Amino acid sequence: MPINVLITKNFNHMSDVAAGIVKEHIVRVLKEKEEFVLGLATGSSPTGVYQRLAKAANAGEFDCGRIRSFNLDEYVGLPGENPQQRVMHPESYCYFMIQELFGLLKRKFRETNVPFGALIDQKELNRHFRAYPEDWREQGSDAGRSIVIRPKPESPYLAWVRKEVLNRYAQKIRKSGGIDLQIIGVGGRGHVAFHEAGIPFKGSRVMLVRLDDNTVENAVADGHFTSKKDSPRYAVTMGAELVYQARTVVLLASGERKVASVAASLTGDPTPDVPISYGQIYGQRGGNLFYVVDRVVGKALLENSETLEKKGIHVEEVS
């Protein structure tokens, strides 16, 4: 199926269009099987979609009790003395989801899942990195790096992180039957979740990532943390290879900061330098991919519409 780019008027219109796509998929799939597996993102891009989905669910347009959800990512290193405090920190993605979607629902989802990053103690993690340098290596050509823990590490803590935090989340997704529809946003440099620019596609399932300084600085600049010192330095995240195994992917992008990365993801060749460009590989393999963008982001795509059409990417302005 070709990649479909839908250019909308503004953020609210983008949210209307994307919520309509998600709702249509939920209703259709629930006619065919018992439950729908929904992949969720955080950040400002999907908030309008979540408000509209909650309203539709509360009006009885689909049954939340038959939805199982998986979020893309979660910080490692949030302030807190224990996992309970970290997972309920105001900047945790678990807390975000409660505020922006889960708490709006009259009937709750069958199950919600957020990567288990809050279980990791950042100080303990760093201590074991220093004590067992042969147990791990970094991957990536830019500042953000994935940390690959070897299959049988000497460190019991790193062995636990690999098995119970990273592999366990991927196993849960697989046992659920895979994700039916995944909602994603776009980072300023084209990253998806915390699959940072330069991290290889191959093997990017559920990863432990050392965050790019640019990502940390943006978190501070956007008011999420008071300083770089207080900002987490790691995250647990789905990688592009896993994200784009969903049966349908809906990408949301609005605003000037997303223009260059969205355009590069479709007009250029797939490259880890722009992680969302993996969507081209996904589309070539028959994936069902929607870009739902506002007019600001869409302008650059319209200027390249002839090039995109040759690549099997359909661009449409939605009224």
Task: Determine the structural domain holding residue 162 and report its residue range.
Answer: 3-317
Helix axes 47-58, 93-100, angle to 10 degrees: 50
Report the C-alpha gap between 311 and 283 in whole angstroms. 10
The three-point CA angle 217-80-69 to 5° equals: 80
Q: Where are the alpha helices (DSSP H) in 38-167?
A: 47-58, 83-87, 93-100, 122-131, 156-160
Token couple for 90: 């105001």
The CATH number linked to 232 is 3.40.50.1360
pLDDT per residue of the chain (319 residues) written in tens, 0 to 9: 679 999 999 999 999 999 999 999 999 999 999 999 999 999 999 999 999 999 999 999 999 999 999 999 999 999 889 999 999 999 999 999 999 999 999 999 999 999 999 999 999 999 999 999 999 999 999 888 999 999 999 999 999 999 999 999 999 999 999 999 999 999 888 999 999 999 999 999 999 999 888 778 888 888 888 888 888 999 999 999 999 999 999 999 999 999 999 999 999 999 999 999 999 999 999 999 999 999 999 999 999 999 999 999 999 999 8
Q: How far is CA 181 from CA 67, 84, 255, in A?
A: 11, 29, 24
Burial class (CB in 10 A: 0-12, 13-18, 19+), 226: exposed
Overall domain count for the chain: 1
Strand partners for 317: 7
Report the C-alpha gap between 287 and 272 in whole angstroms. 19
